Amino acid sequence: MSLKEILHKQSLYFIVYFYGIRKSFKKKMKSLLESISQPQEIQNFNLRELTQLAQECRQRIIEVTSKCGGHLASSLGAVEITVALLKHFDFSIDRLVWDVGHQGYAYKILTGRNENFDTLGKCGGIKKFLSRDESSYDHFGAGHASTSISAALGMAIGRDLQQKKHRVVSVIGDGALTGGLAFEALNHNGSLDKNMLVIYNDNGISIDPNVGAISKLLTRFASSQFYNRFREETLDFAEKAPFSERLGLKTTLQKMHDSAKSFFSPPSMLFEQLGWRYFGTIDGHNLQELLDIIKQVKNLDGPIVIHAITQKGKGYAFAEEDAYKYHGVTPFEPLDGKFKKKKTSGQAISYSQVFGNKLGELMERDESVVVLTAAMLSGTGIVNLQPKFPDRVLDVGIAEGHAVTCSAGLATTGNKPFVAIYSTFLQRALDHIIHDVAVQQLPVRFMLDRAGFVGADGPTHHGMFDLTYLRMIPNMTIMVPRNGAELRCMIEFAYNHETGPLAIRYPRGNTAELDENKIPPLEFGKAQILRKGQNVVLFAVGTMVEKAEQVADLLEKQGVYASVINARFVKPLDEDLIVNLGRDAKLLVSLEENTIHGGFGSGVLEILSKNRICIPTLQIGAPDRFIPQGSPEEQLNEAELNVEQIYGRVLEKLPEVVKKIRKKRTMDQKKRAS
């Protein structure tokens, strides 16, 4: 029997047990998980109870994510770490910072949110990430990676300034240690020497594990009270001895300690050189081992790292076998791991796939085309290109700034770099875009996936600011497609663009229109007139173009005839068209799925002001607040961006025009009647 078949069989046994036994079990007695009213109660559990609690957490995570979607594999891999931390710390007093929150579902379940965990990712429900406004146990919120050590260090500094004694813990993993911010924080506290504990949840990314009996023996020894007392006393003696400075005794002893440790545990060299005490590696799924090491080191002074080896997807065979596939999941069938298919119209595919397919064609055609992404091969639609072009499809890890500056270097060599990053993540590289790309007018092509509202991931992941932060940058060209076919045309345009940086932003979701031949040719800085009218101009970009056409249909029923313009370019805008239409229209409306401040609509107003055109205007876009999680439709409603809401807002701006039109229509009807 193959490993895959064994894992599958074990998974089925587990799920059948879970779904078959759980109902009768609940009738007889409460599970351990359901019996917990406060997380502090976990501190009284013995090893057998803690093991059972970990199993119940896994069951609950699988149960809920199979219905609601969410981050499955990472949370399954961090269950024992969560249970061990709650056994040894009181996080109503102590502080815990999770990196991103991909790993935090067990923590949510065990800190008072189990009963409502079925609402994960839904409007008004439990959030997919840690959030300070959701629970007092969420001490720091984050949707972007590599922030936990830095935030925890800030908490440790604040604690010491206030002369308090609580402990501060950070859990970092899931590739977050590839981000530069994490190393900046490690370096900083290497010199500050603040008391804090970092759990490095190593699920196979970044640093190679050093496993085996010698490593485990060293870890037990290095964390023991005997060794640490011996270490501190010898160093203290060396510091006080009158002959110490002349002989360099303390330095010699310190080097002996460090060298012995580094010899047996190579990963420790990185942390030890940055000034952190390193303990590892340990089995991150062995509760006894975790409990022992945390108990030994939690009261040690200075910066401490525990290096725990874990497996993403632990306890669910399908996620263990393919953790990448089951990292962020849509609803699936627990028994066979198959994802439930969404209903799509016709041959619709995602915008990410459109980009991946078109880029693949360019890479076949031209060996100078290179694509870089920041740990988002699958999410940006290019994962299937890596086997074909391993030297030209580059994943730099969670390091967006490096991706941008590296692409700038590539552009200087005559290659054609594309940078594929989610809109929300590219925000982290703003200085690199300005300083390393735009100032030098380098032809780097930015592909901004997930622009606009993204649904259940919530405000940390909405791509609401890219038109604003990119539009202010000199030498930058910005394009926004209305559908997949136009996206393909824009990618071709970007491939041929050599006079500076260019960005294309497109939404999360599907598109059915893919035929480039149906798209009128793109002309630099020129918009497309979709229909002409006398009263209103609806100047729309991207996803709002279709809504503008629907609003125009509703207006026409009121006798109001609207021009509909597909902007295509946000920078440069089609100034001639805006001026010509603005001189005659009764109202000019801009529509965008971007923050209302500084984006597409602001650019339209700037052109009207520059040309001294005084006309009623209406800017429609995302309001000046963060829109919470929910479905994209719910978020559009919250932002007042659905068709009926836009139509109502336009009518409110046209009372006199509508009144005149209706009066004229009534008079015409009377004439015909007579």
Contact by Cβ (8 Å): 158, 140: no
Short-list 47, 145, 159, 152, CA closest to 101: 145
Q: Which of 60, 95, 167, 312 is catalytic?
A: 312
| Two tokens, residue 91 | 């996080």
Tell me if residue 400 is catalytic. Answer: yes
Contact by Cβ (8 Å): 99, 176: yes
Residue with tokens 């390393």: 436
Short-list 2, 1, 105, 7, CA closest to 56: 105
Residue 17 to residue 503: CA distance in whole angstroms: 51
Residue 226 to residue 231: CA distance in whole angstroms: 9
DSSP classification of residue 586: S
Contact by Cβ (8 Å): 19, 63: no
Contact by Cβ (8 Å): 128, 141: no
Neighbour-count burial of 399, counting CB atoms closer than 10 A to its CB (0-12 exposed, 13-18 middle, 19+ buried): buried
| Two tokens, residue 575 | 């100034």
Contact by Cβ (8 Å): 537, 582: yes
Short-list 48, 72, 45, CA closest to 60: 72
| Two tokens, residue 21 | 């036994």
Short-list 152, 33, 50, 173, CA closest to 94: 152
| Two tokens, residue 364 | 């076949």
Short-list 84, 284, 90, 326, CA closest to 173: 284
Q: Which of 56, 80, 400, 513 is catalytic?
A: 400
Short-list 71, 118, 112, 108, CA closest to 323: 71
Q: Which of 60, 358, 428, 482 is catalytic?
A: 428
Residue 446 to residue 505: CA distance in whole angstroms: 8
Tell me if residue 312 is catalytic. Answer: yes
Active-site positions read 312, 400, 428
